Structure 1
Amino acid sequence: MTFRSQLDDLPLFATDIEIAEAIVGKTYAKEWAQKRLPVLAGKPGFPPVDAFHGGRAVPLVRRFY
């Protein structure tokens, strides 16, 4: 059986809310994005927001995890 994460369903670059929904679900996404994402953003290896594409590179988020 192959498991696909919801990260697999995101575009190549995704917003923080889209990433949060894929990781913790829609119910907890807003809180996670406000409280947990800033902690992750300060960690080495977590991808920054790409201003040109308007989001974070999803393959790099997946690799971080």
Structure 2
Amino acid sequence: MSGNQVAMAKEWHGSSTDVYLILRVYDFRSSPNVFAYVDPHALRLAGRLSFTAQGSYSVQPA
């Protein structure tokens, strides 16, 4: 995620009209799967996701 994407996730956190989500696509070549992180800023505040800046942000399950 870019810094702008993190800012947008914070801005849309708790919105009654908009939702921010991260779609994680994995096992793309063998058996594609998708997982949605809805309101990633709320998940971050709850300790369920961690954001680490490495040029851009790397998002990992906590």
Larger RCO, structure (CA 8 Å, separation 6 or more): 1
| TM-score relative to the length of structure 1 | 0.27
Q: Which has the larger radius of gyration?
A: 2
Larger strand proportion of the pair: 2
